[in-house]
A and B are shown apart, each in its own frame.
Chain A
């Protein structure tokens, strides 16, 4: 009973009709399960073949959109950051870009470079988290430990840059909070060389291990036109052959001034998605290397807000590189209107839509996270596969429930 349909791409009525009957074996892979994460799968099996899988999400729904309507603009940055704590600069960057368009303030070039560096560090860290979780889904505890161990290096780099391991809250409207600590380049160079060497080891023990390839190849195939019509995002989209990346839009960060090549795979199966993530780590290391070389000097907060600071405080900010928030941040009053922003997170493109009515609190903030966009794939790809393939597909899609439930 395949869901594929020529005209409609997906025949949702057939998909939504839950197959009952005598020989259907229903399993609740629930919130408490070694591999289900923060959600529940309602899997209907016929023998070993999955007839229907229904992801039951909402276990980590912390009502961010409703809370955002009750808080001032600047307070929403740490709030939205808790959606994806392992990729925190990318998710807050979307909200900050939308806010900057509303206030029409542009961050200085140095701040854009700093934002790009932290975004790429978070991307590497988040991809390593994804590879680790995908590894433990196949009970390959070594790659889980290696990925989480090597992730600590990037967390330490981010901690030196921003002061926090995960919740950096680094981008603020008009710039960034901290300047680059000295000696950052050497430490990054060491980390980059170590990481590139480690990626070979990941390939040998995990990706190109014939046992793991037998679990990943040909499983959960997402063809090119289906990926487009289903709105897949991030590595899952690029693994199906679509060369799309929100970084190429040149709307934020310093990506327009750096040359980097977006990797694309063709097959679209789980193996291509895993290889895609390893390739993207290499590209991210390349981006950070270029960004550190081409970084211009200058202030890290927009002139519009720097001049609001009292002169003595402004000297200290420019000298120490630690930004003090001007008083106006307490209740920013952007003009009434709507803006839209899209930022490429590790798992895909996050979409923000801020509606403001001139008061210090937003009227409505809409956030669509990449995992919520991939939820459709989680519903459709495992059908007609073996029961054990469900976790291979779930791991390769790199689905992070707190980000999807918001």
Chain B
């Protein structure tokens, strides 16, 4: 990656260190930032001003052992020297009441991704105008990507049901 890119990333890492709980450069093209839920919007708008103007993915990882759902925003940029880097914003949200502020004002293209995260993992994004089923049928209860939603594994004899 270009020399200018490294300079930019290091300045960004230092800047984020003050706000976020933990910032580390996991790989050459990946910066992992752990943030508490309330400071998320502030850090996201800082990233947007630094050039990371859209989000590559919004995902929810269910961790039942630590009683927490980890919501991960991966921010990306298209301009010349920042294009190789992905900034990973991680926040932890309690599993029984997963609530978070929506980021569609900062990153407009997170609209459908947040809606899908609610649909599959069950994280409620406060302020999202259209939180309804996206991929699952409209009358579906429960959130399939949670670890307690068990799918029958590949048995040796797949029994014929129905």
Binding site for B on A (CB under 8 A): 8-10, 12-13, 15-17, 57-58, 61, 63, 65-67, 70-71, 101, 228-231, 237, 242, 244, 248-249, 251, 338-340, 342, 349, 351, 353, 355, 363-364, 366, 368, 372-373, 375-376, 379, 405-406
Contacts and interface: CB of A to CB of B under 8 A. Distances in A.
B17 interface: no
B78 A61 contact: no
Interface stretch (B7-15, B92-100, B104-112): B104-112
Interface string B13-38: 00000000000001101101000000
Interface residues of B, number: 44
B43 interface: no
B162 interface: no
Given A9-B108, A66-B151, A57 B56 contact: no
Contacts of A229: 53-54, 108-109
A351 B56 contact: yes
25 contacts: A10-B108, A12-B111, A16-B129, A16-B130, A17-B129, A66-B144, A66-B149, A70-B153, A228-B53, A228-B54, A229-B54, A231-B54, A244-B78, A244-B83, A249-B29, A251-B29, A338-B32, A340-B27, A340-B29, A353-B74, A355-B61, A364-B61, A364-B62, A368-B57, A376-B112
A249 B136 contact: no
Interface in B39-63: 53-57, 59, 61-62
Nearest to A378: B112
A12 B115 CA distance: 13
Max chain A Cβ within 10 angstroms of own Cβ: one of B72, B86, B111, B154: B111
Given A230-B108, A372-B112, A57 B135 contact: yes
A43 to B, nearest CB: 17
A57 B134 contact: yes
B133 A13 contact: no
Given A16-B130, A58-B137, A364-B61, A231 B55 contact: yes
Given A66-B145, A231-B109, A376-B111, A351 B57 contact: yes
Contacts of A248: 83
B82 to A, nearest CB: 11
B124 interface: no
B89 interface: no
Max chain A Cβ within 10 angstroms of own Cβ: one of B59, B61, B136, B151: B59
A375 B112 contact: yes
5 closest Cβ pairs, A-B complex: A231-B109, A231-B54, A16-B129, A58-B135, A10-B108
B120 interface: yes
Contacts of A244: 78, 83
Max chain B Cβ within 10 angstroms of own Cβ: one of A17, A231, A351, A375: A231
Contacts of B113: 368, 372
Contacts, number: 108
Nearest to A18: B130
B8 to A, nearest CB: 16
Contacts of B54: 228-231
Contact of B84 (A12, A249, A349): A249
A228 to B, nearest CB: 5
B103 to A, nearest CB: 11
B129 A61 contact: no
Contacts of A251: 29, 84
A12 B129 contact: yes
A340 B87 CA distance: 11
Contacts of A249: 29, 83-84
Contact of B105 (A8, A353, A406): A8
Contacts of A16: 129-130
Nearest to B83: A244
Given A58-B137, A249-B84, A376-B112, 11 more contacts: A10-B108, A12-B111, A61-B135, A63-B151, A230-B109, A231-B76, A249-B29, A340-B29, A342-B56, A351-B57, A355-B61
Given A70-B151, A230-B54, A376 B134 contact: no
